[in-house]
Structure 1
Amino acid sequence: MFLSKLLEPVKATAQQAGERLWQMYLSGDVQTEIKADSSPVTSADHAANQIIIEQLTELTPDIPVISEESHLVPLTQRQHWPRYWLIDPMDGTQEFVARSGDFAVSIALVEHGWPALGVIYWPKEQIWYYATRGRGAFKQQRNLINHIQVRQHKQGDPLRIAVSRRQPQHLISALLAPTQQAEFIALGSCSLKSCLVAEGGADCYMRLGPTGEWDTGAVHIIVEEAGGRILDSQFFPLSYNQRETLANPDFMVIGQSSVAWPDLIQPHPTPRQITD
């Protein structure tokens, strides 16, 4: 009941932040800076961040918030939190800057080290993806709501792989088994590609390169409730709030669980190490 009561207010918060992002996107009145990790951050990120934190603090004053765009609380303090909000006020800032429109708001509630509620809002299409633990995953466009599930992949069929517009496809092709054929679907933000797997539009999505736990928190519960999984490059589950930094390893979003994925996707020969 606790998660069910939170869902609609969180969806409304994601929409409000998304509408602010879209207004700023259309106006073009945005300042862009480069962070220490060489990724961009804009005044739109900060505006959405403020909306989300204010709304969540009012909704659940006793639940702390971790955001990509806020100061990170030390692990010694946050490792004792039984639950916390994990947010990315704009997943896909590079898409915002590049004017593709493929950016989204991401809000997750993590309980006892695992995502329990997730909401993604895509302002351009006015679409929500959302899930709560044990209750399935859903896609909503305006008032039309559909239950979503991962695609049933047939043995021998090409893999439908969601990829970034900005990552060379040969890097992904190199991770496939030598005889595995693939079809590539280019899309923007990390969360939208993950949701594409959740709704059956792609079989998998492989992410190479830096991401944070805020990039996967909300989509993790959505993908799992849709029948898929998110695993690291060695086919182990991701973890949350276990390190001083919140950096993710390379990971993959995979659909139908009965597929022998290790036969189709080769583990990285030298996994990228996470350092605190």
Structure 2
Amino acid sequence: MIAAAKPDLIADLASGALTEALADIAEDAARVILPYWRTGTVATTKADHSPVTLADQEAEALILSRLKDLYPDVQAVAEEAVADGGAPAITGDWFWLIDPLDGTRGFVAGKESFTVNIALVRGEAVVAGVVTAPATSTTWRSGPHPDGGAFRRRFGEGWQPIKVRDRPANPIAVMSHSLTDDEARRLASRYGCMDWQGTDSSLKFCLIAEGRYDAYPRTGPTSEWDTAAGQAVLEAAGGRVMAEDGTPFRYGKPGFLNGGFVAVGG
């Protein structure tokens, strides 16, 4: 019996095969999560006071196992592992950022806006990412790196290309539900948006990527695994994510903690 060839990370990144594989993994993680949704799942509280459920933990275990099988030499930084054991030191040029269930509070409340996120970082730059929304059976991914565009599919269907829209005369922001109406209005207007819509999780990046909204400003704290996959999708679709000083949004920061940022479309 001839052993199967080992996947080549750089070649797979360039061809798009890497994010095809990540999409399959994220969708399998979604199938682990969905049996817990709207079934009275109870969350426990982590040391940082954020919630965690069995769905988070089981989805992360699946993702880590599958990534290890495909690309065993790439370090993984995953939300629940960090919560249990602390933030690791990055030891190579490449690493994964994994949030197995972004939007756990909404998930426990029975809302639809929770996601599975897997991203690949090289140095300080996110180079590939996949976001899956289990409740709507939808996945977004970046394509061949660096200029292969972005794509969306419903589970079991073919990929459709997506791109940001040109900035309209009346741009609309998509914002975190954690903001008050007054806070959201002030923050949206800072980026030229008089109207805004609230939603949770990394879906905000994907909704800009497919041309439904124009900006996502954020001042509150997030972790790198909350943003990396969505940033990869948005940038592949023609958008940008910038730190508050206007510089590109980078990764591998101390504690994997983000400062403020804004994600924008065309």
Partner residue, 1:152: 166
Partner residue, 2:205: 194
Amino acid corresponding to residue 23 of structure 1 in structure 2: P
Unaligned runs of 5+ in 2: 1-10
- Choose which of 25, 38, 43 in structure 2 pairs with 1:13: 25
Distance 1:235 1:254 in 2: 12
Partner residue, 2:178: 166
Distance 1:212 1:102 in 2: 18
Unaligned runs of 5+ in 1: 257-276
Cα distance change of structure 1 residues 40 and 148 upon mapping to structure 2, 3 Å threshold = same
Q: Tell me if the contact between 1:67 and 1:214 (Cα under 8 Å) persists in the aligned partners.
A: yes
The 3-state SS of whatever aligns with 2:37 is: helix
Distance 1:119 1:43 in 2: 22
Matched, 1:139 2:149: no
Distance 1:179 1:45 in 2: 34
Matched, 1:51 2:65: no
Matched, 1:124 2:142: no
- Choose which of 99, 102, 111 in structure 1 pairs with 2:122: 111
Question: TM-score normalised to the size of structure 2?
Answer: 0.87
Q: Which runs of 4+ in 1 moved over 4 A?
A: 176-181
Q: 1:223-234 maps to which residues of 2 (within 5 A)?
A: 223-234=234-245
Q: CA RMSD in A?
A: 1.9
Percent identity of paired positions between Structure 1 and Structure 2:
33
Amino acid corresponding to residue 149 of structure 1 in structure 2: K
Q: Tell me if the contact between 2:167 and 2:214 (Cα under 8 Å) persists in the aligned partners.
A: yes
**Displacement, 1:175?**
3.1
Distance 1:144 1:89 in 2: 24
Cα distance change of structure 1 residues 176 and 84 upon mapping to structure 2, 3 Å threshold = closer
Distance 1:149 1:188 in 2: 21
Cα distance change of structure 1 residues 177 and 32 upon mapping to structure 2, 3 Å threshold = closer
Distance 1:105 1:246 in 2: 18
Q: Deviations over 1:131-183 (max 9, x none)?
A: 042211111113142211111113xx222111223321321322355895522
Distance 1:179 1:240 in 2: 23
Question: TM-score normalised to the size of structure 1?
Answer: 0.84
Matched, 1:254 2:264: yes
Cα distance change of structure 1 residues 179 and 106 upon mapping to structure 2, 3 Å threshold = closer
Higher helix share: 2
The 3-state SS of whatever aligns with 1:200 is: coil
Cα distance change of structure 1 residues 5 and 170 upon mapping to structure 2, 3 Å threshold = same
Q: Tell me if the contact between 1:66 and 1:72 (Cα under 8 Å) persists in the aligned partners.
A: no
Amino acid corresponding to residue 253 of structure 2 in structure 1: Q
Distance 2:55 2:25 in 1: 15
Cα distance change of structure 1 residues 179 and 51 upon mapping to structure 2, 3 Å threshold = closer
**Displacement, 1:210?**
1.5
Distance 1:35 1:233 in 2: 29
Amino acid corresponding to residue 251 of structure 1 in structure 2: F
The 3-state SS of whatever aligns with 1:27 is: coil
Q: Tell me if the contact between 2:113 and 2:133 (Cα under 8 Å) persists in the aligned partners.
A: yes
**Displacement, 1:216?**
1.2
Cα distance change of structure 1 residues 122 and 237 upon mapping to structure 2, 3 Å threshold = same
Q: 1:180-191 maps to which residues of 2 (within 5 A)?
A: 180=192, 182-189=194-201, 191=202
